[in-house]
Amino acid sequence: MPREVFRPPLWTSHPFSSGLFVVLVSVFGMLLSFQSAWTDRVSSSSVVLACLDLKGMTEPNETVMTYSYPYVNFLSERNAVNYPPSPEQVPEIISKYSIRYVLLNRLEDGLYLYEYARTYFDENPGFRKIKTYEEWGNPEATVIYEVAI
């Protein structure tokens, strides 16, 4: 009686089942992440500097109002909340979270998350501009305001 030759199941010999496929997908994902980080290395330098300054200006339990809450949260190690969708809600958010500082950053194309932010903090006497950061030729690409209300 002839011996039967062992043949591995079909799914184990498929190219996608090998570790090579997993390695290729992982390397591709890492390259995409690196590309994203490399693209953003300069576009947020003023925000990074502002976050580091906020870390020195605030207590660890304080909350900052900003569009750049992931940066503020990570770099300054402070809590952060986003701007509300309308300027009428700003005083409510400031009161609710006891906010003393607002970080306003313009996007590279000069736009803002909410259009009211373009003038609201400069024109409102309840905010005092305390530090500015230049980027893209704009001397006020990022601004820290102190809340005075």
Classified as helix, coil or strand, 136 is coil
Output the pLDDT for position 111. 57
User: Which of 114-118, 127-131, 145-149 bottoms out in mean pLDDT, i.e. has the lowest?
Assistant: 114-118
Classified as helix, coil or strand, 8 is coil
What's the pTM?
A: 0.68
Q: What is the Cα gyration radius of the chain? A: 25
pLDDT one-digit tens code per residue, 49-67:
999 999 999 999 999 998 8
Output the pLDDT for position 9. 60
Say how far apart CA 145 and CA 66 lie, in whole Å: 10
- Higher-confidence position of 34 and 90: 90
